[in-house]
A = this chain, B = another copy of it.
Amino acid sequence: MDLTKHRAMLDRAVEASLTRGYWTPFSEMPSPKVYGETANDDGKRAFEARLNHPFTIDQPGTIGEVGNEHSPYGMPLGVRYPKVDLDKLLQAVSVAEASWRQAGPEAWTAVSLEILSRLNQRSFEIAYAVMHTTGQAFMMAFQAGGPHAQDRGLEAVAYAWQEMRRIPGTAIWEKPQGKNPPLKMEKRFTIAPRGIGLVIGCCTFPTWNGYPGLFASLAPGNAVVVKPHPGAILPLAITVSIARDVLRESGFDPNVVTLVAHAAGDDTAQRLALRPEIKIIDFTGSTENGEWIERNARQAQVFTEKAGVNPVVIDDVADLPAVARNLAFSLALYSGQMCTAPQNIYVPKPQADAVAKALAEAVSKLVADPARAVEILGAIQNDGVINRLEAARKGNVILDSQTLTHPVFPEARVRTPLLLRAEASESALYQREIFGPVAFVIATGSTEESLDLAARGAREAGALTFSVYSSRPEVIERARTLASEAGVALSENLTGGVFINQSAAFSDFHGTGANPAANAALTDSAFVASRFRVTQSRSHVA
Contacts and interface: CB of A to CB of B under 8 A. Distances in A.
A387 interface: no
A480 interface: yes
Interface string A171-194: 111111100000101011110101
Contacts of A18: 166, 168
Interface in A457-479: 479
A526 B100 CA distance: 22
A171 B537 contact: no
Contacts of A533: 487, 512-514, 521, 526
Kindly report how many copies of this chain are found in the complex they form together.
Answer: 2
Max chain B C-beta neighbours (<10 A), residue from A480, A490, A534: A534
Given A174-B21, A194-B514, A526-B530, A535 B498 contact: no
Nearest to A24: B175
A55 interface: no
Contacts of A507: 171, 173, 187
A289 to B, nearest CB: 16
Given A298-B295, A487-B192, A508-B187, A171 B535 contact: no
A365 interface: no
Contacts of A172: 21
B20 A187 contact: yes
Say which size band chain A's interface belongs to.
Answer: 35 or more
A176 B513 CA distance: 31
Contacts of A530: 513, 526, 529-530
A396 interface: no
B171 A489 contact: no
Contact of A485 (B20, B21, B192): B192
A20 B171 contact: yes
A21 B537 contact: no
Contacts of A166: 18, 525
The 7 residue pairs across chains A and B that have the minimum distance between CB atoms: A492-B539, A490-B537, A20-B171, A526-B529, A525-B529, A526-B530, A484-B535
Interface of A: 18-22, 163, 166, 168, 171-177, 183, 185, 187-190, 192, 194, 294-295, 298, 479-480, 483-485, 487-498, 504, 507-509, 512-514, 521, 524-526, 529-530, 533-540
11 contacts: A20-B187, A173-B507, A183-B497, A484-B537, A489-B535, A492-B538, A494-B540, A498-B540, A512-B535, A513-B533, A524-B534
